[in-house]
Amino acid sequence: MIHRCLVTLTVFLVVFFGYGQTPTIASLKIQGNEKTKTSFLEKIIKLEVGTSLDTTKMEEDMYRLKRLPSVSHAYYQVSESFAENQVDVVYGIEENFTLIPFASIFTSNDDEFAFRVGLQEFNVLGRNITLGGFYQRDIFDSFGAHIRAPNIFGRRWGLALSYQDLTTEEPVFLDNGSADYRYNNESIEALVLFQLNFKNRFEFGINFFTEDYQFLSGDTDPSVPLALRVNKHLLKLLYNYDAIKFHYQYLSGFKSSLNLQYVRSDDGQLPPFWIGFNDFTYFLRVGEKGNWASRLRLGLSSNLDTPFAPFAVDNNLNIRGVGNLIDRGTAAIVLNTEYRHTLIDKDWFVLQSNVFVDGGSWRNPGGDFSDFGDDQNLRIYPGMGLRFIHKRIFNAIFRIDYGQGITPNSSRGVVFGIGQYF
């Protein structure tokens, strides 16, 4: 904050006392970037040589640069040029290490255990292209790969491609009990990325996938098949409003992420349905070392009376400590809120504690909105955790959380992972 005030004051003095009118930019230099291509950074910033000095535009460029995976911090400097009524501008970059392994490990008190490990490079070719893959073991083996190039066609247009072969054991909840199915989802997805401005982004595209259910054990129902394999496709639209400001591990501001999907089976074997959900996320700085973070998810889908409803209750997705995929619904309300406090802050290392409350409720498949008030659907899990953060490596946050349910028939469990929970 002090650095920003000094820079702003310097710009004011240069303009007011040096010239009496807005000076022109004689040169613009980018420094500190070793792996990130200068040509790429020049493509995404808005300040240009020969234009008038504009601090608002420079602040927007700093905001945009700090959100790049390859950048941990960015700043600017303004100095007088040799020519009259002109200035030289320097954009300084502090780079992240961007070849990052990631892992998620989650368990609960009934000895469930699952993990996902992978590797991602966030700055392929020095152009902030993300390339990664993962392996998952959740009773069965799964894997996937993806590439994301948000600026491959300029400042606004990009492309994302992904493939996954995901296999898990899924509980299916029937009127007379429950059953376990082996569930496989093999998919390929292509998305076009469009950035309207530095706060508003859209993604739209198509996903082709095959779902395969195979009965393993448990109760049966004549209306529910023991085996089901169907080819499907979905149309997807994502809208992201992001006004989050970053200062190393601290965040402040508001973000809203909307996800809309329309799903059809290729042969009409199953009825089409739609699904939509919005995540509202808010961060607030609390004093020098505190950060309050909250996420509210509102989700709604076609209310089909099916055991394969789209909204899951899961340890690693929404309720820490609840277990691995314990229920499903056709609508969801989930609130995650936590207070993060920095215990140790060194040059490259941060130790952060957090206390949290995760809570949510679901609408049963074919049910109505009164299901949200049903004790069987309501789950509240307070807990605590630790964060081990490397300040010079992108998203290098190792987290461990312990959640204990306080609603009827609750469980408890530990969730490990890379990155903040939200």
Bridge partners (DSSP) listed for residue 159: 149, 192
Q: Has residue 17 got a pLDDT over 50?
A: no
Query: Where are the domains positioned within the chain?
Result: 2-95, 99-418
Q: DSSP H helical segments within 108-259, as ranges?
A: none
Residue pair 411/380 in contact (Cβ under 8 Å)? The answer is no
Closest C-alpha among 115, 166, 100, 101 to residue 315 = 115
pLDDT, tens digit, 9 for 90 and up, residues 158-217: 999 999 999 988 878 777 888 899 999 999 999 999 999 889 999 999 999 999 999 999
> How many whole angstroms separate alpha carbon 74 and alpha carbon 235?
37
CATH class held by domain 2-95:
alpha beta
99-418: in CATH 3.40.50.880: no
pLDDT, tens digit, 9 for 90 and up, residues 27-82: 999 999 999 999 999 999 999 999 999 999 999 999 889 889 999 889 999 999 88
Closest C-alpha among 72, 89, 71 to residue 80 = 89
pTM for this model (two decimals): 0.79
pLDDT, tens digit, 9 for 90 and up, residues 248-292: 899 999 999 999 999 999 987 789 999 999 999 999 999 999 999
- Among the residue ranges 127-131, 153-157, 331-335, the one predicted with the least confidence is 153-157
Q: Are strands 250-265 and 245-247 parallel, antiparallel or unpaired?
A: antiparallel
The per-residue pLDDT for 7 is 52
Q: In sequence order, what are the residues at sequence separation of 6 or more whose Cβ sits closer than 8 angstroms to the Cβ of residue 49?
A: 25, 26, 27, 28
> How many whole angstroms separate alpha carbon 366 and alpha carbon 381?
26
